[in-house]
Amino acid sequence: MKKILFGLFALSTLAFGAVGDDHLYFRAEFSPFSKYDLDSGAKVENKDNIDEAAYGIAVEYTKDVLYNLEVGVGTAYQKHGDFQYKNGYDGEKLPDFNSVPVYLTGKYKIFNVGQWTPYIKADIGYSFNDFDDNKYFSYEDGLYYSVGLGVEIEFLSLEMSYRVNEGELKTDHGKYDIDNSRVMFGAAYRFDF
């Protein structure tokens, strides 16, 4: 019985390995539309705009698991743009809210039109936000998620997605939820192996 179970396990492992290709994506992304949401109890009122554009780079490893479906893992460095608060605040400048998310990713290719392949994509993971603290403020880590759509043209992908990094702003008088949300435009290059 043990030999049969071991044989079935080995066969299923080989079958999973034979399903499809492995892919490695390198992506650069940019957003002119980044926004911070901060709890009102933090006594820091933020402006609706940011001081500079948001940008990032990412690396993802995926595997074909079903027809037109890839799943995998990824990580990125994301600079969200400077947090701008209204002039009435007398405290020290808030540190940059930058993130390194580690996430699971899924990508479904809808259909092929010649060399063009549109797809939908989603990510969910954990965002490490605590990089540039000062003596008055620090950021705690939180949830990261993203949904988007794009098109593959051979090995190049062009993508638009809505991304959110959640966290907490830690001050000397408490912790307050802070989120950065944005629409990102990205381009990725795929390596198959």
Nearest to 124 by CA among 73, 188, 69, 182: 73
Question: 17-27: b or e for each residue (b if 16 or more CB lie within 10 Å)?
Answer: eeebeebebeb
Distances (CA, A) of 73 to 27, 34, 124, 174: 14, 24, 10, 34
In this predicted model, what pLDDT tens digit does every residue of 162-171 receive, in sequence order? 999 998 888 7
Enumerate domains of the chain plus CATH numbers. Answer: 21-192 (2.40.160.20)
Nearest to 21 by CA among 65, 58, 74: 65
Of 39 and 72, which is predicted with more confidence? 72
Angle (CA) 130-134-140 rounded to 5° is 25
In this predicted model, what pLDDT tens digit does every residue of 91-142 receive, in sequence order? 556 667 789 999 999 999 998 888 999 999 999 999 998 666 666 677 889 9
Radius of gyration (C-alpha) of the chain in whole angstroms: 21
In degrees and rounded to multiples of 5, residue 173 shows phi and psi of -120, 20
Alpha helices in the chain (DSSP H): 2-17
Distances (CA, A) of 182 to 7, 32, 124, 157, 186: 49, 8, 15, 19, 12
Predicted TM-score of the model (pTM): 0.81
Of 39 and 87, which is predicted with more confidence? 39
